[in-house]
């Protein structure tokens, strides 16, 4: 299932649409609004009876008469005007697209033009947010459902895989002509949200399909499509490079591990490209985390197919950066392996050396994410990076601290942390800083090696994991770590505009950061935007 989203500046009442959606602030009557005459059908009655107030998530479907071109009009609540936000727009649009899919219509228009929404928030940002939400809400992972599709044998020759493409829905976002930056903003929003859906598509694969080999193929395909170089390091290559931490996690599985390296350089002749220094992204690619010998309880273990989400996000970010042709050098690194117990698996107490030579006592084989990221971060150093951002479903402790609302962010540079927080608030992929005082380093001191991979039970688990990574971050780079354990997937009803399964968290956030670094589209205040 996918939504095709385009931008229009024409009058939506003149288009033949299955559903024309109108966003409404709480207690502001749509019938009082010019431009909707004849379209609103029984809206006056709806208002009079108080059936629709414009509260967040509220919707009412109207059937206009008098030869209106739209078949239906959907009023969608935005909540209070004082609380107007891009996130409120995303949630309302997510609700609209979800509804449209549920009633099986093919075309939806979302009316922002000349409208109260544009007057409360920056019009181009509103249009972009609406487009993002439509692309994200239109996504569903259905590859392995045969009921709605003709089956086809998959590559492994065992499983039947859905072949027929699920039906698409066309979504038009209408904003007024005077919002001059809207078309370009929507184009970029659609691009990055499609890349987020690509990340979701890989992350949603169950572990028997979404193997490290499959991740490597996804990266290679994305590179060929978008224009970046992909190199896959095999187990033997990792051995030669001394990636003892990564290989210790891969020791228990028979599934070949892959260390994925993606390199993007702007096309020749691109203006404003910094001569030196790359921005490096490192993503955790554990395609299944059983815990290894320190095995996890059976309950919810199936969710650990999503433990590759950080790595999938990095593939998605590379896809977006290359398609947008950002004038920056961007590198993506994804160490990918399963974490399984077996006769060859790493045992608690084992000591290994990472690529930098630093030795690690592995006290718990379930704290494997930090081990593979250690070598990912060591490998990043060869690019003389200006910034290194890693993203990982790293700790249950982060879920305890921040839930599914915000990811944890830690790092060595206050400005980078502040920038990521600002980008998170702008995109809705929100983060919150956690401290990295040296005192936390005490938690991972080891008697047997330089450090150990386990902190103190019940004490700041997200932070001791972050501090562990700090030991391997390239010292000259600004480094940040995103713990996305709570935000990477959804098992309950969904988050307004992102349905069940992998969320693609990190793609829109990191892309926004890189976009701002490249000088494209830093956030304008409303006043600045108006002056342009
Ligand atoms: N992938 C898990 C973290 C996780 C758990 C993410 C639940 C999302 C939901 C990670 O590899 C892990 O097992 N971490 C351990 C670390 C502990 C052994 C120090 C954890 O958080 O329990
Ligand atoms: Mn684990
Ligand atoms: Zn894990």
Return residue ranges of the chain for CATH 3.40.630.10. 211-487
Average pLDDT for 523-530: 42
211-487: which CATH number, 3.30.390.30, 3.40.50.720, 3.40.50.300, 3.40.630.10? 3.40.630.10
Helix or strand run (H / E) with residue 450: none
146 or 48, higher pLDDT: 146
Among 8, 214, 323, 370, the one annotated catalytic: 370
Which residue in the block uniquely carries the two structure tokens 């971050």? 473
> Tokens representing 63?
């059937």
**Confidence band for 268, pLDDT divided at 50, 70 and 90:** confident
Ligand 1 atom index nearest CA of 303: 9
Q: Which whole-number Å values give the CA distances from 220 to 209, 217, 229, 440, 529, in the listed order?
A: 16, 5, 8, 39, 39
Which residue in the block uniquely carries the two structure tokens 């990982």? 392
**Confidence band for 45, pLDDT divided at 50, 70 and 90:** confident
Helix or strand run (H / E) with residue 415: helix 414-427
Q: Which pLDDT score is estimated for 532? A: 33
Q: Which pLDDT score is estimated for 361? A: 99
Which residue in the block uniquely carries the two structure tokens 């005192």? 439
- Give the tens place of pLDDT for each residue, 56-113: 999 999 988 777 899 999 999 999 999 999 999 999 999 999 999 999 999 999 998 6
How many angstroms separate the first and last alpha carbons of the chain? 38
**Closest of 98, 97, 116, 105 to residue 23, by C-alpha:** 116
**Which residues 6+ apart lie within 8 Å of 262 measured at CB?**
219, 222, 223, 228, 229, 230, 314, 315, 318, 331, 332, 333, 334
Q: Which whole-number Å values give the CA distances from 530 to 120, 179, 181, in the listed order?
A: 12, 9, 11
Q: Residue 360: is its pLDDT beyond 90?
A: yes
Examine the residue annotation and report whether 296 is marked as an active-site residue of this protein.
Answer: yes
Q: Residue 42: is its pLDDT beyond 90?
A: no
Q: Is 192 helix (H, G, I), strand (E, B) or coil?
A: helix
Looking only at the bridges linking them, the beta strands covering 107-111 and 72-77 are unpaired
If one residue of 395, 463, 487 were mutated to test the ligand 1 pocket, choosing by the most ligand atoms within 8 A of its CB, it would be 395
Return residue ranges of the chain for CATH 3.40.220.10. 3-149+166-187
Length of the chain: 532
**Confidence band for 209, pLDDT divided at 50, 70 and 90:** very high
Please answer whether residues 444 and 451 qualify as being in contact, where contact means their C-beta atoms are separated by less than 8 angstroms.
yes
Does 364 contact ligand 1 (Cβ within 6 A)?
Answer: yes
Examine the residue annotation and report whether 515 is marked as an active-site residue of this protein.
Answer: no
Among 180, 296, 347, 516, the one annotated catalytic: 296
CA distance 295 to 169: 43
Q: Residue 254: is its pLDDT beyond 80?
A: yes
- Among protein residues, the one with the nearest Cα to ligand 1's atom 8 is 485
> Tokens representing 8?
């229009």
Average pLDDT for 251-255: 98
Domain 3-149+166-187 adopts which CATH fold? 3.40.220
- Among protein residues, the one with the nearest Cα to ligand 1's atom 13 is 366
- Give the tens place of pLDDT for each residue, 400-416: 999 999 999 999 999 99
- Give the tens place of pLDDT for each residue, 420-432: 999 999 999 999 9
- Give the tens place of pLDDT for each residue, 432-461: 999 999 999 999 999 999 999 999 999 999
Q: Which whole-number Å values give the CA distances from 31 to 24, 27, 47, 126, 224, in the listed order?
A: 10, 12, 8, 22, 51
Neighbour count for residue 291 (Cβ, 10 Å): 18
DSSP secondary structure, 279-337, as one string: EEEEE-EEEEE--TTSPPPSTTGGGGGGGGHHHHHHHHHHHHHHHHT-SS-EEEEEEEE
**Which residues 6+ apart lie within 8 Å of 11 measured at CB?**
35, 113, 174
Q: Which pLDDT score is estimated for 33? A: 72
CA distance 352 to 345: 13
Q: Which pLDDT score is estimated for 116? A: 61
**Closest of 199, 506, 190 to residue 324, by C-alpha:** 190
35: left (phi over 0), alpha (psi -120 to 50) or beta: left
Q: What percent of the chain has pLDDT over 90?
A: 80
Distance between Cα 244 and ligand 2 center (Å): 17
Average pLDDT, the chain: 92
Q: Residue 531: is its pLDDT beyond 60?
A: no
- Give the tens place of pLDDT for each residue, 295-340: 999 999 999 999 999 999 999 999 999 999 999 999 999 999 999 9
CA 45 to chain centre: 42
Helix or strand run (H / E) with residue 34: none
Q: Which pLDDT score is estimated for 272? A: 73
Distance between Cα 174 and ligand 2 center (Å): 46
CA distance 196 to 267: 23
**Confidence band for 526, pLDDT divided at 50, 70 and 90:** very low
């Amino acid at each position: 299932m996918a939504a095709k989203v385009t931008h229009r500046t024409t009058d939506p009442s003149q288009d033949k649409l299955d559903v024309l959606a109108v966003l409404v602030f709480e207690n502001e009557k749509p019938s009082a609004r010019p431009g909707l005459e004849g379209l609103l059908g029984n809206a006056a009655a709806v208002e009079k009876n108080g059936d629709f107030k414009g509260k967040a998530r509220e919707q009412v479907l109207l059937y206009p008469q008098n030869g209106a071109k739209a078949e239906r009009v959907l009023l969608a609540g935005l909540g209070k005007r004082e609380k107007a936000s891009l996130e409120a727009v995303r949630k309302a649009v997510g609700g609209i697209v979800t509804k449209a899919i549920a009633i099986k219509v093919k075309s939806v228009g979302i009316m922002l033009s000349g409208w109260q929404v544009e007057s409360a928030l920056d019009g181009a940002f509103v249009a972009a947010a609406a487009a993002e939400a439509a692309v994200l809400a239109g996504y569903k992972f259905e590859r392995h459902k045969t009921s709605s599709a003709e089956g086809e044998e998959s590559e492994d020759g065992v499983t039947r895989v859905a072949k027929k493409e699920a039906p698409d829905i066309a979504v038009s976002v209408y904003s007024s002509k005077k919002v001059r930056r809207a078309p370009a903003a929507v184009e970029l929003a659609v691009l990055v949200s499609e890349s987020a859906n690509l990340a979701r598509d890989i992350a949603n694969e169950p572990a028997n399909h979404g193997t490290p080999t499959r991740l490597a193929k996804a990266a290679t395909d994305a590179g060929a499509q978008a224009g970046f170089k992909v190199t896959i390091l095999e187990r033997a290559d990792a051995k030669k490079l001394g990636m003892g931490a990564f290989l210790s996690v891969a020791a228990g599985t028979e599934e070949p591990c892959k260390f994925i390296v993606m390199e993007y350089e702007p096309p020749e002749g691109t203006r404003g490209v910094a001569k030196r220094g790359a921005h490096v992204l490192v993503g955790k690619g554990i395609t299944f985390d059983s815990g290894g010998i320190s095995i996890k309880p059976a309950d919810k273990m199936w969710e650990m197919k999503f433990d590759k989400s950080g790595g999938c996000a990095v593939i998605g970010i590379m896809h977006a950066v290359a398609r947008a042709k950002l004038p920056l050098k961007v590198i993506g690194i994804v160490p990918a392996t399963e974490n399984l117990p077996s006769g060859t698996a790493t045992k608690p107490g084992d000591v290994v050396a990472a690529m930098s030579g630093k030795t690690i006592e592995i006290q718990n084989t379930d704290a494997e994410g930090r081990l593979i990221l250690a070598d990912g971060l060591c490998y990043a150093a060869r690019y003389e990076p200006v910034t290194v951002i890693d993203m990982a479903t790293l700790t249950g402790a982060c879920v305890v601290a921040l839930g599914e609302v915000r990811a944890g962010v830690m790092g060595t540079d206050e400005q980078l942390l502040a920038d990521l927080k600002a980008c998170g608030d702008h995109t809705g992929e929100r983060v919150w800083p956690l401290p990295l005082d040296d005192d936390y380093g005490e938690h991972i001191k080891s008697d047997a090696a330089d450090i150990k991979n386990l902190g103190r039970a019940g004490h700041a688990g997200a932070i001791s994991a972050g501090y562990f990574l700090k030991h391997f971050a390239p010292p000259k780079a600004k480094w940040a770590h995103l713990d996305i354990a709570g935000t990477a997937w959804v098992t309950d009803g969904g988050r307004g505009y992102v349905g069940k399964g992998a969320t693609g968290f990190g793609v829109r956030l990191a892309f926004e950061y890189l976009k701002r670094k490249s000088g494209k589209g830093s956030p304008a205040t409303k006043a600045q935007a108006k002056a342009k």
